[in-house]
Chains A and B, each alone.
Chain A
Amino acid sequence: MKISNVLGLNARTQLFSYRYNTLTGRKICDSKLQTAKVLKRVGIPHPEIYKKFKNPIDIESFDWQSLPAAFALKPSRGLGGEGIVVVKTRTKDKDAWITTQKSRVGIEDLKLHVQDILEGAFSLGNVPDSALVQEFVGRHKAFRKYAYRGTPDIRIIVFNRVPVMAMLRLPTKESGGRANMYQGAIAVGIDMATGITTKAYLHGDLIFHKPGTERKLRGIKIPDWTKILEMSVEASMASGMGYLGVDIVLHPEKGPMVLELNAQPGLKIQLANLAGLKKRLERVEELEVRGPVHGVKIAKALFAARFADRVKAEEGIKTVGVWEDVRVVGGDHKKHTIKAKIDTGAWKSSIDREVAKKLGILDKSNILWTKIYKSSLGKETRKVISLTYYLAGTRISTIVNVAGRSHLRTPLIIGRKDLKGFLVKTE
């Protein structure tokens, strides 16, 4: 991969974070209380907040016995997940709770911890902070076999209303049940199109199994994937942030919830996906994105993982001729057979306008963007749509541009972009 595809800290700050984020947006992201307020206003699911502590008086006036058996005590502006106490069960005498790290905390411990938070022990520059008691989100059954004790979360980088890259963070024994990669949590890359995990990364190495077990980390299907992606875009729009990281947890009963927003999301996500973030960001930078549904559609079309390697291993390399019949999935979700030319001189595939209209795939909802193309015939503005078709039995989900091709022999040409894993026979 080219070095210029990788996003570094300098570029993140200057080209994206500074340029596309407002001060108000950053303030919302930095404070968990403000994040909750903004999310509530637009109706995005968020773990419930039981109690806020803004002044030391609140500590004494609060009825600590009224707290449930499981909750999380957090600083509003904590750094790097520090200062968070998560309890899962209450002791029999009702005076104390047991944390996820299996230690006992009493009411006095909690009071002192809130005092520390209010004094700013966990905030940047020791600025006085607020504390909050939040609903405990347990582990979703999809992750029960993979995560150790704590709750895994999904980090999604959203830029210009398009989810760009995603990873799943799995707590391990080493990380003490926390989903923090510095403490030894596993970062698992996710295919944007399907929500299936692709690669796993721990301590500078790609790994294939959960440490100490034979459990594969590749191929975990994340439930409600489209909903999760749309939720991340909604959160970015609600906070007014052009570039941010959205952390989402899956509640066992209530489904996906936005846990927090991050104005300066980390760059390790690139290693977990083995993909460069800068290239992806530049790809969506200029696009006009109408809303969450459109943004997610673009993401799925652009950032689908190439399973070519696996296809090669399982099916062997397929050979296609220059003229092929392909089955295109139309707007009615049925397959229609059309003629196609395999053109290794072209990069992107192209489909005829009339045929696309007839197939019902030229709806406004299916148009990703329009782009000016230069060819030997001069400049031309073409619409770009997402398209799924079957070539020699292999399903290909891709983006194609729409052009007038009625005077040519086939309504579809297939470019090199879609031909990975194929051999072309010319006779």
Chain B
Amino acid sequence: MRKMILGFLVAFSTIFFAGGVSLAQVVKVSPTLTVTPTPTATPTLTPRADLTKETEETLGPLERLLNEQKLGSVWPGNPIKYAIRAAVDAHVPANTIVLLLLLPLVASFIAAARHIVGLRGFGIFLPAALGVTFVATGPIVGIGLFLVIVTIATLIRFTLRKLKLKLQYLPRMALLLWWVVIAVLGVLFAAPLINSSTLSNVSIFPVLILVLLSEDFTRVQLGKSAKVAVNLTSETLILALASYFVLTLKPVQEYALLKPEIYLLVILIFNLILGRYVGLRLMEIWRFRKLIQS
């Protein structure tokens, strides 16, 4: 195993340095690097670019970048690049490919946040899914919806306990979902009133992910104390926001699209190394500070 990692490391470093040079060239030709991905910040109320939906605005620049890149022979260095090119030519949206490519990066990022920093969150899937949701809805609407759902879920749980309805577990969860859906519907109905186009443009999948998240939240609340549940939720939110920034970072998007082979290899090796890290996490150093100082 150690030899394997060493082999990977050597291969990785050679490719990385070669790749680093060519990345610099790519960055030079990139026309979109300076554009920050926050169209909501402009006061003109233009609809937000949704990476999960196929729109002309987001498809354009990425496709243009692909066209500008000059490729050598297919083997050994370019098989995925050619595959991407063929897929985009066959009208697979480039941003779908980018999002898919970025998912392992976000997952590794969350894994690193747990094993090096010590942020836990609800597993690895939920923060990643929440991050993608934020890309689709925008961070403010996303957090707003998330907080509404979590508040409703908690309120219902406490009410059910106070009322002593004595329901069984699954019907109780179904009842909870009922209320959460009503609340989300209420928010969506309120969209024309507060005249928010980002809110009214929200698609079903982000909302669905948020609704399903409420079940996990209540489950943790059931199993642990309220303090632990709040901590886990805030850590999940932090991780999701960080994932959101990783996902929307233009240089990262472009690098993943233009250099998929190196990009995927780097993530593979990073996880192989991370999985063997046995040192203290940053938050543990804080937790055990009295012990270390003694």
Contact = CB atoms under 8 A, between A and B. Distances in A.
Contact of B294 (A1, A3, A8): A1
Given A116-B168, A120-B169, A11 B278 contact: yes
Given A82-B224, A182-B228, A8 B281 contact: yes
B284 A9 contact: yes
Contact of B169 (A2, A11, A116): A116
B242 to A, nearest CB: 20
B21 interface: no
Interface string A296-316: 000000000000000000000
Interface in B261-294: 276-281, 284-285, 288, 290-294
Contacts of A119: 168-170
B64 interface: no
Given A121-B222, A182-B225, A3 B280 contact: yes
Nearest to A275: B291
B292 A115 contact: no
Contact of A9 (B219, B281, B294): B281
Nearest to A183: B225
Given A116-B168, A122-B222, A122-B223, A6 B291 contact: yes
Nearest to A113: B166
B279 to A, nearest CB: 7
Interface in A67-85: 79-80, 82
A276 interface: yes
B276 A14 contact: yes
Interface in A120-156: 120-122, 126
Contact of A15 (B168, B278, B280): B278
Contacts of A183: 225
B48 interface: no
Contacts of A182: 224-225, 227-228
Contacts of A342: none
Contacts of A122: 222-223
Given A121-B169, A126-B219, A1 B292 contact: yes
Contacts of B290: 204, 206, 271, 274
A8 B225 contact: no
A338 interface: no
A206 B280 CA distance: 22
A271 B276 contact: no
Given A79-B223, A126-B219, A271 B228 contact: no
B166 A112 contact: yes
Contacts of B281: 8-10
Nearest to A8: B280
Interface string A1-41: 11100101111001100000000000000000000000000
Q: Which of A6, A270, A274 has the most CB of B within 10 A?
A: A6
Contacts of B280: 3, 6, 8, 10-11
29 contacts: A1-B291, A1-B294, A3-B292, A6-B292, A8-B278, A10-B277, A10-B278, A10-B279, A11-B278, A11-B279, A11-B280, A14-B278, A15-B278, A79-B223, A80-B223, A80-B224, A82-B224, A116-B168, A119-B168, A121-B169, A126-B169, A126-B219, A182-B227, A182-B228, A267-B284, A271-B288, A271-B291, A274-B290, A274-B294
Given A3-B292, A80-B223, A10 B115 contact: yes
A80 B288 CA distance: 21
Nearest to B285: A3
A270 B225 contact: no
Q: Ordered nearest first, which 7 A-B pairs have the shortest CB separation?
A: A8-B280, A119-B169, A11-B278, A8-B284, A121-B169, A10-B278, A6-B288
Nearest to A116: B169
Nearest to B167: A112
Interface in A40-78: none
B168 A115 contact: yes
A79 B219 CA distance: 12
Contacts of A2: 292
Contact of A270 (B169, B278, B288): B288
Contacts of B169: 116, 119-121, 126
Contacts of B166: 108, 112
Interface string B140-178: 000000000000000000000000001011100000000
Contacts of B224: 79-80, 82, 182
